[in-house]
Amino acid sequence: MRKDKNKSIDESSCQRKLPAIYKKDSEMLKLIIDQSAELPPAEKEYRKNNVCKACDQIVKKGEAHRYYELAHEIRTLEYLKKKSGVLTVSNDSKHKSGADFIYNDIYIECVTSSKGESGFDEYNGLNQIVDYSKKKDIALTRITNSISSKKRAYKKQTDNGSIPKKSPYVIFLSCGEMSADAFFTTENGIDFAGILFGINKPYFVYDPESEIAKFSGYTIRKSVVKDNNSSVDVRLFADEENAFISAIIFTAPELCEKYSWRDTFLFINPLANHPICIEGFSEIDCWVVNDHRELVLIEHQ
């Protein structure tokens, strides 16, 4: 008799030697799954089983990226189901092509950035001078790569009809293991604009008479140079090739934290083929480009 690949993993295996923070978070994720009426019973078991497998991977291999991917999807479900509107959740156990969520006819794809082999952790050691600017650039290139990787997937999904070509498409991106770093917790999420519009460092104009330096805006850069001397475009929303993206939601909470306005931000693509209305996301801060081509913040309600 063939063994069921999705057979539930022994809970003791799932919890053995697992760091306390993952134990607490994984229990929270399972509770969210159990309390989600949007999921059929078989799908609930499938997702909980995957969480256990990801916990085992942390214990045995020290790899947490898969766990963060699953956690992001489950936390997104928790976030979206509290909103008014119609929500459809993908049935992952069926392994069908399509977006992770459909919310009021908006197709939402969850993406989780990874540290990869970028050298990000080289800046986490004790008793060393840390170049936070360099570390931030590494993180931004990883996030940019995660967004860019969706082009091919989106084309495949629109070609096979699992995502209608004329429907809004939103990427909901989690910073994953990099979420704990301070540069992702800046007020209003302005640092994420560095990926989409090339916003770089603030600059000030000094008035010698008043002896006051006044904030005058941000410098702009088109790309970030990686260690291998290749460049990564950091003006994704200035490129018409990315017009298929209606908006991007960035989130960077740590484990055991719900998605909220404190760490979740919406950026509307000014070049979007299929724009979305920000009213549907009024509970988080939203960045839009106005008629004067100014990037402005609309604060959460």
What pLDDT does residue 200 have?
A: 78
What pLDDT does residue 211 have?
A: 81
Task: Judge whether 139 lies within some domain.
Answer: yes
Gap between the Cα atoms of 157 and 152, Å rounded: 9
Residue-wise pLDDT tens digits, 50-79:
999 999 999 999 899 999 999 999 999 999
Gap between the Cα atoms of 254 and 270, Å rounded: 30
Task: Judge whether 217 lies within some domain.
Answer: yes
Task: Judge whether 127 lies within some domain.
Answer: yes
Count of CB atoms situated within 10 Å of the CB of 70: 22
Task: Judge whether 254 lies within some domain.
Answer: yes
The three-state secondary structure class of 77 is helix
Gap between the Cα atoms of 115 and 35, Å rounded: 32
What pLDDT does residue 149 have?
A: 84
Q: How many domains does the chain have?
A: 1
Proportion of the chain in helix, strand, coil states, percent, rounded to 5: 40, 20, 40
What pLDDT does residue 15 have?
A: 66
Expressed as residue numbers, the domain containing 82 is 75-298
Task: Judge whether 237 lies within some domain.
Answer: yes
DSSP designation for 5: T
Gap between the Cα atoms of 121 and 163, Å rounded: 37
Task: Judge whether 98 lies within some domain.
Answer: yes
Task: Judge whether 46 lies within some domain.
Answer: no
Per DSSP bridges, beta strands 106-112 and 169-174 are parallel
Residues of the chain with pLDDT under 70: 1-16, 116-132, 181-186, 227
What pTM was computed for the model?
A: 0.87
Task: Judge whether 65 lies within some domain.
Answer: no
What pLDDT does residue 32 have?
A: 97
Beta strands in the chain (DSSP E): 87-89, 101-103, 106-112, 169-174, 199-207, 212-220, 223-225, 231-233, 247-251, 264-268, 285-289, 295-298
What pLDDT does residue 279 have?
A: 85
Q: Is the four-CA dihedral 290, 292, 295, 298 of positive or negative sign?
A: negative
Gap between the Cα atoms of 267 and 288, Å rounded: 6
Whether the CB-CB separation of 175 and 120 falls below 8 Å is answered with: no
Burial class (CB in 10 A: 0-12, 13-18, 19+), 280: middle
